[in-house]
Amino acid sequence: MQTLSFPLFTHSLSFRIHPLSPFPSLTYLSSLSEPYATARRSIQLQASASDSAFASSSTIAVDNSDADDSTAFVIRARSRIGLLQVITRVFKVLGLTVDRATVEFEGDFFVKKFFVTDSHGNKIEDSDSLERIKRALAEAVGGDGDGTVSVTRPAVANPGVVVRRPGLVDGVGERRAKAERMFTLMDGFLKNDPLSLQKDILNHVEYTVARSRFSFDDFEAYQALSHSVRDRLIERWHDTHSYFKRTKPKRLYFLSLEFLMGRSLSNSVINLGIQDQYAEALSQLGFEFEVLAEQEGDAALGNGGLARLSACQMDSLATLDYPAWGYGLRYEYGLFRQVIVDGFQHEQPDYWLNFGNPWEIERIHVTYEVKFYGTVEEIDVNGEKHRVWVPGESVEAVAYDNPIPGYGTRNTLNLRLWAAKPSNKFDLEAYNTGDYINSVVNRQRAETISNVLYPDDRNHQGKELRLKQQYFFVSASLQDIIRRFKEAHNNFDELPDKVALHLNDTHPSLSIAEIMRILVDEEHLGWNKAWDIACEVFSFTTHTVVAEGLEKIPVDLLGSLLPRHLEILYQINFNFMEELKKKIGLDYNRLSRMSIVEEGAVKNIRMANLAIVGSHIVNGVSKLHLDTLKMTTFKDFYELWPEKFQFKTNGVTQRRWIVVSNPSLCALISKWLGTEAWIRNADLLTGLRDHVDNTNFHQEWKMVKRINKMRLAEYIEAMSGVKVSLDAMFDVQVKRIHEYKRQFLNILGIIHRYDCLKNMDKNDRRNVVPRVCIIGGKAAPGYEIAKKIIKLCHSVAEKINNDADIGDLLKLVFIPDYNVSVAELVIPGADLSQHLSTAGHEASGTGSMKFLMNGCLLLATADGSTVEIIEEIGSDNLFLFGAKVQEVAELREKGSTLKIPLQFARVLRMVRDGYFGYKEYFKSLCDTVEIGKDFYLLGSDFGSYLEAQAAADKAFVEPEKWIKMSILSVAGSGRFSSDRTIQEYAERTWKIVPSRCPL
């Protein structure tokens, strides 16, 4: 008989048990079934050596001679309530069967013998397996022996079943009794079988939504359902962050003023792996999951690609088990709702919080004071002069947490959004002076800070509010980060080893000045030491291409709102300039270009220059983008610090853009690949190339596309009243309306197609490929040219869609209020997607990646990430047109001498002459593309554009060729997963490693 003695532990620990080879039921943790996960939670126990009740030793022995058909485990332990059930659950979790058991009592102890077999009914004889079982039992039982064998957490990477003690409190007597009582009351994860889910949903209907469980509508059912899902996210959220807190990995803090999250319900249940269970539970209650999912509004806390990229990156960080937090602002009003009246865009507030947000958790106890205005004074501390900021106004930042679940893992990260609330000082001042009205006004002024996404900054008030937003976000986030760091560390030399701060574009760049203020003014570090720390922790990604688009803040404004920060920025710039002079000499033009402070009629702080100087890595978002940064935008900085500059091509998450938005394609891919592993490893999509010539695969692929086109056609008819043919090519351009994205080029191409059809013989029309042209996107409220493009689209659509001669050969539809949820409908249904930016103006372009993943063919310029898409899928599988990056400057120089196609002149003249109405209104729009003024080269690229459109028509009438191109597009899309992007950031920039929370 072998005997194992083990001590009780004075602290909590997590202990992984390797899967045992004789027990096939012990599977990889990502596929561990819910009963096992519940059992894991059920065997959590608390132990402490200080408790005299456990003074005597416990032992576990193995006897393989007592029976021929089973292995005997002999356990001697102090008797306590529930321990026998704990032991039997351990055996169950390990996939073992208890055939029989005996028990004897020795005073306060029992000696219990369990006769156990493996999942095949065989005796267990492998010594390694026996050792692991004993260690699992030791972890569960606890004891206080002679220390001959210590049970510790093995340093292994292989995941397995986990038996864990929470270790919430230490102590004896009453405190321990209370702790054990809490564990008894909450000893298991929430169950995920349909009956348990139904009970949870109905409980939330009655107690959270406060409706009768016998009478509630779809929206109330959605609210109850969402709270039920959130409960399960919170379980994982707590476990994940408790694990991070205990293991102390280096953490990433992702700072972004924009997160375009879209809807959370479908994404959450898919990542949790319980969509089918919820669907069944709801069906039995008389509801449909898909109908309830439509009740959710979009969380539109951002605008365009950068904001949606942030959301994808949070999903990938969670899925890949990286220890990370996201920080942003909880805008009261999201991106405006776009309403079209008579073809004109009108903006309405997006009251996205009017009906509550079940996914967020308000942390009223997590608040930080954020200060503004005031003066800077000099004080004497131990004979040294220190600068101290005496603010004139303060507000409170209140945290709202949003759990972000990973796929195939229990890791659930946190997106913490800050809301502005008035400081209590306002109320105290009002009480003392009797100025109640002033208190209310101050309260309203404080709350406006986090009210609006992108306040109009064309006037001083708008600029001040935007700067307030940025500093409010930065100050609250850094206070939270530093507080968390100081809980576990007391030496700021360790900060770069434990913290990575990432600036997502220039909006959070004030973080550099703020951390210097904290380290120098509050923590009293020397300037040079503080600066070295700051440069090591910060990294920066720029999403801008041209220098004109880089953010600047007027010095006068910054000095008024943040006087101490302006001093710090001047000091940073002075030190930088002095070092720069030593390296490049007195090249005043270059010194002026690289200075953080821009001199001129209006003196500004260049936020991009600050971010570059204060970061150890500067990231571009595609290879072409980095080349542009190196050669033009940041040429001076690249020549100074070439080692700082990297690129990580943006990516999108296949969980959102295939699994959630295109479930039929998801099922088809899994069927033909023979695995769902591609959902976590998108590189496996290349396996579709093996089936590219399979006719059965083609038929199924075609059916999936038709189903998605039906969904989109139904939406178009419901939204616009336009009935479209499913046999037509669905030609889509959806993105923010901007001159460089060239929606105007698309509309002129549609006019050309319409003009050709009108002048074509009826017999010839039979050979024309029918098209449904779909355009969607929002124009910034002050962007008049973009608004005129939207109006032109509607005017052209009215003419075309009502022309009986044209019929189904050509339709034009504008989709209003384009957002993430609409994208999830449009992208799977598209046949062709247009990405028309003038080469050199799109930093990356993640929209093309979403269409690529859904088997949509691209018609595009060689801009942004399209260059890398060509490398992956081949130029034969998309339709390229237009000038290359290196040709653009030369074409602009030619100006009025450029030769413009006659077709371009004709369609432009149709608009000018009022063929589509509003002749005077469209005059300024037409002026932007006149010869010599055509900055974005619409006329120059028009001929090439028409050729690409003709090539698309030719391919579409060969269905087998089109389907092959579609399959190869998806097969080559794995490189453009945000998982790959995040892994590159983690390894090359942030230096963080996965930290997988055990089950």
**Is there a catalytic annotation at residue 543?**
yes
Give per-residue pLDDT as tens, 511-543: 999 999 999 999 999 999 999 999 999 999 999
Q: Does an H or E element contain 63, and which?
A: strand 59-63
**Is there a catalytic annotation at residue 97?**
no
The more confident residue out of 140 and 400 is 400
| Residue ranges of domains in the chain, CATH in brackets | 59-140 (3.30.70.260), 708-970 (3.40.50.2000)
Catalytic position from the list 565, 644, 735, 975: 735
Catalytic position from the list 240, 409, 686, 846: 846
CA–CA distance, 74 with 698 (Å, rounded to integer): 61
Q: Mean pLDDT check: name the lowest of 46-50, 621-625, 704-708, 719-723.
A: 46-50
Catalytic position from the list 238, 443, 623, 736: 736
Average pLDDT score over residue span 882-910 = 93
Query: 483, 458, 553, 463: which is closest to 513 by C-alpha?
Result: 553
Is residue 863 predicted with pLDDT exceeding 70? yes
Q: Report the half-sphere exposure of 64 (CA within 13 A, side-chain side).
A: 9
Q: What is the pLDDT of residue 172?
A: 54
Average pLDDT score over residue span 663-680 = 97
Is residue 425 predicted with pLDDT exceeding 70? no
Give per-residue pLDDT as tens, 29-42: 333 333 333 333 43
* CA 586 vs CA 383, 574, 591, 646, 984: distances in Å: 37, 14, 8, 28, 38
**Is there a catalytic annotation at residue 583?**
no
Average pLDDT score over residue span 359-367 = 94
CA–CA distance, 37 with 299 (Å, rounded to integer): 32
Give per-residue pLDDT as tens, 314-329: 999 999 999 999 999 9
Average pLDDT score over residue span 870-893 = 96
The more confident residue out of 833 and 335 is 833
CA–CA distance, 263 with 283 (Å, rounded to integer): 21
Q: State whether residue 502 is helix, strand or coil.
A: strand
CA 913: distance to chain centroid? 47
CA–CA distance, 283 with 294 (Å, rounded to integer): 16
Strands ordered across the beta sheet of 97-106:
2-5, 59-63, 71-78, 109-117, 97-106
Which residue is associated with the tokens 């972890």?
139
Give per-residue pLDDT as tens, 198-221: 999 999 999 999 999 899 999 999
Q: What is the pLDDT of residue 160?
A: 29
Q: What is the pLDDT of residue 10?
A: 29
Q: Mean pLDDT check: name the lowest of 136-140, 569-573, 920-924.
A: 136-140
Q: In this structure, are residues 648 and 990 in contact, taking their beta carbons and an 8 Å threshold?
A: no
Percentages (nearest 5) of helix, strand, coil residues in the chain: 50, 20, 30
CA–CA distance, 736 with 382 (Å, rounded to integer): 57
Catalytic position from the list 134, 232, 655, 741: 741
Q: What is the pLDDT of residue 437?
A: 58
Q: Does an H or E element contain 788, and which?
A: helix 784-801
Let me know if 754 is exposed, middle or buried by CB neighbors in 10 A (0-12, 13-18, 19+). buried
Q: What are phi and psi of 691, to 5 degrees?
A: -115, 10
Strands ordered across the beta sheet of 810-815:
810-815, 771-776, 729-734, 832-835, 857-860, 879-880
Question: What is the model's pTM?
Answer: 0.82
Average pLDDT score over residue span 381-404 = 91
Q: Does an H or E element contain 620, and which?
A: strand 617-620
Is residue 292 predicted with pLDDT exceeding 90? yes
Number of neighbours of residue 695 by Cβ within 10 angstroms: 9
Residue 766 tokens, joined: 């039979």
Which residues sit opposite 4 in a β-bridge?
Answer: 60
CA–CA distance, 627 with 839 (Å, rounded to integer): 13
- Total number of residues shown for the chain: 999
Give per-residue pLDDT as tens, 96-129: 888 888 888 776 677 888 899 887 788 988 888 8
Average pLDDT score over residue span 971-999 = 96
Band of residue 932 on the pLDDT scale cut at 50, 70, 90: confident
Q: What percent of the chain has pLDDT over 90?
A: 71
Q: What is the pLDDT of residue 168?
A: 39
Average pLDDT score over residue span 866-872 = 96
Cα dihedral 170, 175, 176, 180 sign: negative
Which spans in 685-742 are helix H? 695-720
**Is there a catalytic annotation at residue 736?**
yes
CA–CA distance, 707 with 521 (Å, rounded to integer): 62
Band of residue 948 on the pLDDT scale cut at 50, 70, 90: very high
Give per-residue pLDDT as tens, 801-849: 999 999 999 999 999 999 999 999 999 999 999 999 999 999 999 999 9
Give per-residue pLDDT as tens, 636-665: 999 999 999 999 999 999 999 999 999 999
Long-range contacts of 943-950 (CB under 8 A, 24+ apart): 943/901, 943/903, 943/904, 944/881, 944/882, 944/883, 945/745, 945/749, 945/836, 945/881, 945/882, 946/749, 946/752, 946/901, 946/903, 947/881, 948/859, 948/879, 948/880, 948/881, 949/749, 949/753, 949/859, 949/879
Which residues have CB under 8 Å from 300's CB, separation 6+? Answer: 260, 262, 334, 335, 350, 352, 453, 819, 820
The more confident residue out of 706 and 895 is 706
Catalytic position from the list 112, 164, 543, 996: 543
Is residue 440 predicted with pLDDT exceeding 70? no
Catalytic position from the list 565, 850, 975, 980: 850
Average pLDDT, the chain: 87
Q: What is the pLDDT of residue 155?
A: 33
Beta-strand pair 344-350/334-341? antiparallel
Q: Mean pLDDT check: name the lowest of 34-43, 66-75, 446-455, 748-757.
A: 34-43
Q: In this structure, are residues 225 and 292 in contact, taking their beta carbons and an 8 Å threshold?
A: yes
Positions of E strands within 243-323: 251-255, 259-262, 299-301
Average pLDDT score over residue span 913-928 = 96
**Is there a catalytic annotation at residue 120?**
no
Let me know if 991 is exposed, middle or buried by CB neighbors in 10 A (0-12, 13-18, 19+). middle
